[in-house]
Amino acid sequence: MTIQALHHYLDYSAQTWPDHVAVDEPGQGTILYRELADLSDQLRDRLYHLGVRHGDRVGIYMSKSIDAVASIFGILKVGAAYVPVDASAPVARNSYILSNCFVKAVIVEERFVDDLIAELNDVSEKPQIIALEGIGAGIPLKNALAKAQAIDPAPPAEVKSASLDDLAYILYTSGSTGKPKGVMLSHHAAVSFVDWCSAAFEPTSSDRFSSHAPFHFDLSILDIYVSLKHGATLVLVEESLGKDPVRLASLITEKQISVWYSTPSILSLLAQYGKLEQGDYSALRTILFAGEVFPVKHLRNLKELLPSPRYFNLYGPTETNVCTYYEIPTQIPEDRTQPYPIGKACSHYEIKVFDGKGNQVAVGQEGELCGSGPGVMDGYWNLPERTANAFLVDASGQRWYKTGDIVVEESDGNYIFVGRKDRMVKKRGYRVELGEVEAGLYRHPDVKEAAVIALSDEENGVRIKAYLSCRDTEKRPSVIAMKRFCSENLPAYMIPDIFSFKTALPKTSTDKIDYQSLKTLE
């Protein structure tokens, strides 16, 4: 199978396994490979008819569903790149993302349309809107396309043949300036990763993959494309279910999921509260986790409850997807408290560790992990300076993406994660720039000063604490009011867990907020 683009996986599987279930949306229905290919073809034709061309961007603004999966492939088939946004995030943030990368069209749930159009009021070139009356099993998308076809027929699209160098998708991550930034990934980057996964985990057409991550999160790339490449079934896990360990555990058994992929925090919840001893998990053969450190005590507990699967720790920022991996040993010693390594380089990557001056450090010394290979991003959308600063160019001219993560290479070649070199943290697998949280807090009319720090919590991973001083110390907002304000201005995973009000925040000699002093308060 020669693959030139991600959507070729679907077309190949639709020819090879036409009557296999491609996607299972619990409570809504399923779709076969031939049906998914046909629905994505219909969307391709409609998008082309609306003026979407090779190299354009198209937004996806809906909850996880078969409709969203079909939308992804329809966008790719027309030669465009898809830009998924978080349906639960404030509409202002989503409209910024969609306007920032100049989407030519947006496929959106009808419930978001009015607010989105209002937010896009100042955009000079308005995107075309394909509105769906809800989501579920691909039916709303199918109905919307049929309705449009009856009014204004779209002929089969004359699409330019795809190239591995084409832009496939843009995933927006938290930005230190207070605005999210778009990470651009090519078909080549994604295909090199999917091919590595195929070799490492040996999926088959009888596998059933979990789809726990939302589609605007980079973990979804493995879920969608590795599954559909091999004619397997992708089982969608809707967001509310994803945080309910008892119902989630039931779903794993009911749907006979064989390959699971999520953040460690979700697996920790399953181990502690999922009542795993009551279910049949014999189908589960591989457990993959990424996005944050997995506390050893919870990992040990999970392995004791589910001893049969192989466990892999996958590491990499959105800009690289997965670039190192480590298989967890069968037995975890009782006296082990240190997290396991992030492992060695994946076969499509080279990894080196550099110091602050761009010199490679010796084994055993701390430095910044940098990666080079086909899986690295093209750059940040419309941020050339930020893109240039993200790479280190060595003496031979080779470009290395600087992850910002400090690591130590052990004598056996495995890398140990030490920490971050900037103010970025991972919470529930999401990348959170503390500066963006602060920018959100400063939007509150009563806030005079805001400073945010991250606290380590073995039970809950990272917790975010906000220190605030207000213009009127006598009438400061309540914690409930601040939480409500944050929910309207920040994604849920960025909302501080703790608020602390001060008359004034400590300052350094240069009159900047003294973060070290705030940390000593903890």
Q: What is the CATH number of the domain that holds 99?
A: 3.40.50.980
Cα–Cα distance measured from residue 425 to residue 417, given in angstroms and rounded to the nearest whole number:
13
Residue 40 and residue 157 in one domain: yes
Mark whether 45 and 156 lie in a shared domain. Answer: yes
Pair 488, 437 in one domain: yes
Q: Which residue has the tokens 């997965």?
A: 322
Q: For residue 329, give Cα distances in angstroms to 18, 309, 332, 420, 521.
A: 38, 11, 7, 26, 39
pLDDT number for residue 292: 86
Shared domain check, 142 and 63: yes
Helix 139-151 to helix 66-77 angle (10° resolution) is 50
Three-state DSSP class for residue 332: coil
**Where residue 379 sits, what CATH number does that domain have?**
2.30.38.10
Query: For all residues of the chain together, what is the average pLDDT?
Result: 93
Domain stops at, among 162, 190, 219: 162
154 and 69 in one domain?
yes
In the chain, the percentage of residues whose pLDDT exceeds 70 is: 98
Convert the pLDDT of each residue in 68-85 to its tens digit.
999 999 999 999 999 999
For residue range 432-446, list pLDDT tens digits in order.
Answer: 888 888 888 988 989
Q: Determine the average pLDDT of the residues in 405-413.
A: 95
Residue 440 lies in a domain: yes
Residues 392 and 490 in one domain: no
362: region left, alpha or beta (phi > 0 left; psi from -120 to 50 alpha): beta
Same domain, 467 and 451: yes
193 within a domain of the structure (yes/no): no
Q: Which of 420, 445, 473 is the last residue of a domain?
A: 420
Final residue of a structural domain among 147, 162, 177: 162
297 domain residue, yes or no:
no
511 and 428 assigned to the same domain? yes
Q: Is residue 112 part of a domain?
A: yes
Mean local confidence (pLDDT), 333-357? 94
Task: Judge contact between 109 and 85, C-beta under 8 A.
Answer: no
- Given this model, what pLDDT does residue 510 score? 59
What tokens does 50 get?
A: 């609306």
Q: Is residue 453 part of a domain?
A: yes
- 384 and 444 housed in the same domain: no
The total domain count for the chain is 3
In this predicted structure, what is the pLDDT of residue 513? 80
| 483: containing domain | 424-520
* Structure tokens given for 441: 């807090």
pLDDT of 459 reads 64
Together in a domain, 41 and 154: yes
Q: Provide the pLDDT confidence category of residue 275 given band limits of 50, 70 and 90.
A: very high
Question: Domain containing 468 — which CATH number?
Answer: 3.30.300.30
Mean pLDDT along residues 277-283: 95
Same domain, 92 and 152: yes
Distances (CA, A) of 242 to 251, 274, 275, 277: 10, 12, 15, 19
User: Is residue 509 predicted with pLDDT exceeding 70?
Assistant: no
Asked whether 33 and 142 are in contact (CB, 8 A), the reply is no
Is 287 a member of any domain?
A: no
